Amino acid sequence: MSRIQLAMLLACLMVAPAQADVKLTGLFSDHMVLQQEKPIRVFGSATPGENVTVELAGQSASAKADADGNFRVELPAMKADGKAHTLVVKGKNTITLKDVLLGEVWICSGQSNMEWSVRGALNPNEETAAANHPQIRLFNVPGHVAGPVPTRDPRGKWQLCTPGSVGGFSAVGYYFGRALHQKLNVPIGLVGTNWGGTRIEPWTPPVGFRQVAELKDYLESIDASDASTATGKANIEKYLANVEQWLAKAKQDLQAGKHVGNPPQLKVSPKGGAVQIYNGMVHALTPLSVRGAIWYQGESNAGNGLRYEHLKEALVKGWRNVFENDDLSFYWVQLANFQNPSDNPAGGGWGPVREGQRRALRIPKTGMAVIIDIGEARDIHPKNKQDVGARLALWALAKDYGQDIVFSGPLYKSMKIEGDKIRVSFDHVGGGLITGKKDGLKPTQEVSEELTQFAIQASDGKWHWAKAKIEGETVVVWAEGVKEPKHVRFGYQSNPVGINLYNKAGLPASPFTTD
């Protein structure tokens, strides 16, 4: 039996009746951080109908467990105060959690580049040795679990950020959280849930797909495996009956010393594996109050190109629904430069999926860290995670915490055809546009070089490499022989070597296409 198969089976078995004692989900433990300025939701299981009381910092609230034995108690919002609190949960038994802080809580999620650990990134020895931050707390969802039924067990535990604990945590997540802690001076809670090589669809709850009209093709297969629909409920009930039969036979085989075969699989497989990882690695975190989420994923969806915009929309809307927070901030990383350069001015490769990521910025309360300048041609896992986390943190510091800073590189805004040239305007010029160069972890340096990686489309539809120059807060683009230009592309390939448009804050411009 594979680990994934076993995890799926265990997820299904989580529907067993609740025990008599009050029990918190594994998300609640000593050393945790609770989100300030948001309702504090505490949840777990108890005897059906049992009254459960939660006490924290002089506040108290109660609720009864429902017919399935699930309870949820909500305390009023509180401000971070730097104090270590005790959280007490009372029913037939009493649970006491110590060293609980009020602060800022963020989900850190995605595929391997978010999963990539501090010990695997740049300067691992120096970074881990310096990671003594007792008011940063880490919760990592361990293992890789996907399944047809949502599980309520997140399986991890909260830890203080120390040289001994940080090495295996998400590097991007840690550097993001560290930047927030340094600027805000409040406790930071980071919840990591990651799985290398995964697509975006398995991370998305059913409700997300249902809110995006462009993704109707996913719904039929999702409904067939979603317990909230009649078809899905019938399929899952049949599946669980098969599991029970398998367990009975497996027990007999074990006692007889015989080989135990694999457990039965849910025959209906949602398109793209939709919702499966959400069930196993995100659902158990809901509806914890959090400030927002950071996301680094897209390599496994590179073939979806521009459609990634709608897949991202489903993820964002879905998570906002399940975390019960319409204001949930959501900031993602645009894919880094990777693979061999191309001499095709039309671009391609990862160009379209980056454009899909950029276009998804139309979703309110979202942002994007551009890292087109710090990737590695031969490594899909660029080791500079420090700048990635720091650039994500700029969005949060500006948008969530009101700091007056430049938080983004130039983002395409509009274009205007002027004879045989096209003038491109940008948002986030940050005091002005420059040509720049980034070397390792050093700050971007302004250089006296021509702009690169611009292409222009002629009236016949063909693309040509173009010249470009900065004029004020715009860039003018043209190419010899192109008299009636139609569109502009910038950095629209997998690895636009030498890309060098920045703003004066040292943040790179996002690749884009105007068509």
User: Residues, the chain, total?
Assistant: 515
Could you tell me if 285 and 355 lie in one domain? no
**What CATH number corresponds to the domain at position 293?**
3.40.50
Query: pTM for the whole thing?
Result: 0.91
Query: What's the pLDDT tens digit per position in 227-236?
Result: 667 777 787 7
Could you tell me if 176 and 306 lie in one domain? yes
Tell me whether residue 147 is in a domain: yes
Predicted pLDDT at 266: 67
Predicted pLDDT at 15: 43
- Cis peptide bond upstream of 382, omega within 30: no
Predicted pLDDT at 4: 42
Domain boundary among 333, 350, 384: 333
For residues 301 and 309, is the Cβ–Cβ distance under 8 A?
no
| Domain, as residue range, for 239 | 1-15+102-333
pLDDT band at residue 131 under the 50/70/90 scheme: very high
Could you tell me if 388 and 302 lie in one domain? no
For residues 328 and 292, is the Cβ–Cβ distance under 8 A?
yes
Tell me whether residue 21 is in a domain: no
Could you tell me if 322 and 424 lie in one domain? no
Predicted pLDDT at 268: 65
Could you tell me if 168 and 248 lie in one domain? yes
Tell me whether residue 318 is in a domain: yes
Could you tell me if 242 and 303 lie in one domain? yes
Nearest alpha carbon to residue 477 among 427, 425, 428: 425
pLDDT for residue 510 is more than 70: yes
Summarize the confidence of residues 297-302 as an average pLDDT: 98
Summarize the confidence of residues 290-298 as an average pLDDT: 98
Single-letter residue type at 242: N
H helix intervals, 257-364:
276-281, 308-322, 351-359
pLDDT for residue 416 is more than 80: yes
Structural domains of the chain, count: 2
Domain boundary among 310, 333, 356: 333
CA angle 397, 510, 363 (to 5 degrees): 60
Query: What's the pLDDT tens digit per position in 335-384?
Result: 999 999 999 999 999 999 999 999 999 999 999 999 999 999 999 999 99
Tell me whether residue 497 is in a domain: yes
pLDDT band at residue 437 under the 50/70/90 scheme: very high
Q: How does DSSP classify residue 464?
A: E
Tell me whether residue 47 is in a domain: no
DSSP character string of 10-73 = HHHHTTSPPPSS-EE-TT--TT-EEETTS-EEEEEE-STT-EEEEEETTEEEEEE--TTSEEEE
Query: What's the pLDDT tens digit per position in 268-289?
Result: 678 888 999 999 999 999 999 9
Tell me whether residue 307 is in a domain: yes
Query: What's the pLDDT tens digit per position in 28-37?
Result: 999 999 999 9
